[in-house]
Amino acid sequence: MISLFRRPLPFVTVMAALIVSWYAAAYFLNAPQAINLMDPDDTNNFWAVVQAAWSMDRPVLPTPDQIAANLADSIFNYPLNSPRNFLLQTAYTAETAITGLIIGTLLGTLIAIGIVHARVLDRALMPWVIASQTVPILAIAPMVMVALGNIGLTGLPPKAAIVAYLSFFPITVGMVKGFRSPDSMQLDLMRTYNANGAETFFKLRWPVAVAFLFPSLKVAVALAVTGAIVAELPTGAQVGLGARLLAGSYYGQTMMMWGALVLASLLALSLIGCVRLGEVALTRARGGRL
Amino acid sequence: MAETVIAAAPAIAAPAPPRTVIEAEKLNIAFAAADRPVVALQDVDLTVAEGDFVSLIGPSGCGKTTLLRAIADLAPLTSGTLTVNGMSPDQARRNRAYGYVFQAPALFPWRNVQRNVTLPLELIGMTKEERERRAAENLALLGLKDFAKKFPWQLSGGMQQRVSIARALSFNPSLLLMDEPFGALDEITRDSLNLHVHELWRRTGMTAVFVTHSIPEAVFLSTRIVVMSARPGRVLRVIESRLPAQRTLDMRDDPAFVAVAHQVRESLREGHSYD
């Protein structure tokens, strides 16, 4: 991240190329419809067609400035508690993602501890852990909703459960690797001190494994935001960015869909930023190396 | 003031009767392998008395590290008896009878030098104040006073190994087990660390068992040198070194030193170490 600010040119170049091709794509995708809606006399005027293609009410592909204007309108022209305000929807999704992420991290770590400390759990759990991720989340999400809804759990808990289901996996894989990282000499050393399992865990295995937690968390964050959005779809699309996405696609409101996409990626980025902050803080505490 | 000095003097000077610290009898250790068990040690007898500095020397595969690990209860015995301080190796380990220095420093990179040295003291349950006082003492003993707040990767290999010695000494064990601690270091660093270890041993009067490949190192440090041979690992000969207690690096050119070194080399040759 720091290199991004010190040497911005590579990033800015790619960004510029993306924006140029975006506007070009918006022209090619929107022009046929724009021409249909235009005054027939203007259709030979290239610049007029371009302007029309870039400013349609319901474009196939909205331009970045349209998406930005639409977002700004939703954020500044509606009160924070209005469902039309994108920030409110983002907050719902963030709540789901963060709650699920915390549960997933705790669960993933607990499973990893079990797998590392008991051979029987290694054999019994690991195949299920892997199998759990081969089931498409889109198929399992509605079933979780129905099952948990039946026992009276609605709203946040079932959505957080789906996020946890997705995000525990990278944590488990990373932490199993981390807990197994101490070399035989370090383990022998603890044995010469007559350290018990808990002491070896807290003085050796955990400090080693924490370094593996951060890369796992970054993967988990991406999965958590995706999971939160997927989890918002089968509830009848009431709240959250997922609901906005679904509503947008029902009504052909592409700008609404893109707005939700932009905010979802900003949400994921800021969560990854938080993970990075934790990583930097720990690295500092360890004298500059994790 | 004077009275205190007089009172303290006899306590230091009084010669304690040498007590047996390590006793091995008909010790056999074999490891399971694919076709048939590999015999690491065969019928090894060894006695180490209090205050001894015993070096185990021999070619690769002679079981010297295995013997040290057996003493530390890091390797299981196949047959025979082995006692440490009159206890089984397991009991001795549980009583934290020894400090162990490994081939590599095995420091924890997320702890600074001081906190690496206090690690065993944390496990004993010592107060933070006492831990830090002990760590400071031991670091000073090894010339590392100014490096307490550094992290392991900021130190040279020789300094890291000194930290690991300070760590092994932190709870004042009466027995120090060292497994080729300086094998990976250059000769100049090794010389200086040999001096450090020799000074520590002289000053504390502790018992030491030291595994090495190096004849000069073994002769320089030891009161007794146990020469071992490989396949199967056996004790060939125990050589008593009658060099003066206070040793200097220059002594290695003295005829007495050269004679002991020669005796060790001849014993190694008898064991076909050079074939």
Is position A81 within any domain?
no
Q: Is residue A113 located within the same domain as residue A222?
A: yes
Dihedral angle at the C-alpha atoms of B116, B120, B126, B130, nearest 10 degrees? -40
Task: Report the percentage of chain A scoring pLDDT > 90.
Answer: 69
| Out of B96, B110, B154, closest to residue A207 by CB | B110
Average pLDDT over chain B, rounded to whole? 90
Is position A252 within any domain?
yes
Cross-chain Cβ contact B110/A185 below 8 Å = no
User: Which of A194, A200, A204, A210 best tests the B interface by mutation, with the highest count of B CBs <10 A?
Assistant: A194
Query: Is pLDDT larger for residue A10 or for residue A238?
Result: A10
Check pLDDT > 90 for residue A252.
Answer: no
Is position A77 within any domain?
no
Q: Is residue A175 located within the same domain as residue A42?
A: no
Cross-chain Cβ contact A185/B120 below 8 Å = no
Query: Is pLDDT larger for residue A10 or for residue B5?
Result: A10
The pTM is what?
0.85
A157: domain range? 86-285
pLDDT of residue A220: 97
Is position A231 within any domain?
yes
Query: Is pLDDT larger for residue A237 or for residue A138?
Result: A138
- Domains identified in chain B and CATH numbers: 17-97+176-275 (3.40.50.300), 107-172 (no CATH)
Structural domains in chain A (count): 2
Between CA B243 and CA B257 the distance in angstroms is 7
Cross-chain Cβ contact B153/A199 below 8 Å = no
| Out of B74, B109, B151, closest to residue A191 by CB | B74
Q: Is residue A35 located within the same domain as residue A158?
A: no
Is position A253 within any domain?
yes
Q: Is residue A116 located within the same domain as residue A39?
A: no
pLDDT of residue A14: 94
Q: How many CB atoms lie within 10 A of CB B267?
A: 21
Q: Is residue A31 located within the same domain as residue A168?
A: no
pLDDT in tens, A148-158: 889 988 889 99
Asked if A203 has any chain B CB less than 8 Å from its own CB, the reply is yes
pLDDT tier at A135, thresholds 50, 70, 90 = confident
Contact list, B101 vs chain A (CB under 8 Å): none
Q: Is residue A117 located within the same domain as residue A212?
A: yes
For B71, the closest chain A residue by CA position comes to A192
Asked if A192 has any chain B CB less than 8 Å from its own CB, the reply is yes
Q: Is residue A33 located within the same domain as residue A101?
A: no
Q: How many CB atoms lie within 10 A of CB A246?
A: 20
Contact list, A290 vs chain B (CB under 8 Å): 110
Strands of B32-142 (E only): list them.
38-49, 53-57, 79-84, 98-101
Q: Is residue A24 located within the same domain as residue A136?
A: no
Q: Is residue A160 located within the same domain as residue A116?
A: yes
Average pLDDT over residues A86-111: 96
B80 conformational bin, left if phi > 0, alpha if psi -120 to 50, beta if neither:
left
Look at residues A93, A137, A102 and name the one whose alpha carbon lies nearest to residue A264: A93
pLDDT in tens, B106-164: 999 999 999 999 999 999 999 999 999 999 999 998 889 999 999 999 999 999 999 99
Cross-chain Cβ contact A185/B72 below 8 Å = no
The DSSP element (H or E) to which B225 belongs, if any, is strand B224-229
Average pLDDT over residues A142-168: 90
Task: Report the percentage of chain A scoring pLDDT > 70.
Answer: 98
User: Which of B123, B126, B172, B180 best tests the A interface by mutation, with the highest count of A CBs <10 A?
Assistant: B123
pLDDT of residue B270: 86
Query: Is pLDDT larger for residue B33 or for residue A26?
Result: A26
Q: Is residue A32 located within the same domain as residue A114?
A: no
The ipTM assigned to this model is 0.88
Cross-chain Cβ contact B74/A188 below 8 Å = yes
Asked if A191 has any chain B CB less than 8 Å from its own CB, the reply is yes
Cross-chain Cβ contact B102/A204 below 8 Å = no
CATH of residue A216's domain is: 1.10.3720.10
Q: Is residue A16 located within the same domain as residue A121?
A: no
Q: Is residue A259 located within the same domain as residue A146?
A: yes
| Out of A185, A203, A286, closest to residue B106 by CB | A185
Is position A90 within any domain?
yes
Check pLDDT > 60 for residue B14.
Answer: no
Asked if A40 has any chain B CB less than 8 Å from its own CB, the reply is no
Contact A93, A229 (CB under 8 A): yes
A-B contacts at Cβ under 8 angstroms: 52
B23 conformational bin, left if phi > 0, alpha if psi -120 to 50, beta if neither:
beta
Closest approach of chain A CAs to the CA of B84, in angstroms? 14
Between CA A166 and CA A181 the distance in angstroms is 25
Closest approach of chain A CAs to the CA of B163, in angstroms? 14
Check pLDDT > 60 for residue A205.
Answer: yes
Check pLDDT > 50 for residue B177.
Answer: yes
Cross-chain Cβ contact A287/B151 below 8 Å = yes
pLDDT in tens, B211-268: 999 999 999 999 999 999 988 899 999 999 888 888 888 888 899 999 999 999 999 9
pLDDT in tens, B68-120: 999 999 999 999 999 999 999 999 999 999 999 999 999 999 999 999 999 99
Closest approach of chain A CAs to the CA of B257, in angstroms? 34
Pairing of strands B20-31, B38-49: antiparallel
Is position A54 within any domain?
yes
Between CA A121 and CA A172 the distance in angstroms is 13
Average pLDDT over residues A251-278: 94
Contact B53, B224 (CB under 8 A): yes
Closest approach of chain A CAs to the CA of B159, in angstroms? 18
For B151, the closest chain A residue by CA position comes to A287
Look at residues B113, B201, B108, B102 and name the one whose alpha carbon lies nearest to residue B159: B113
Is position A67 within any domain?
no
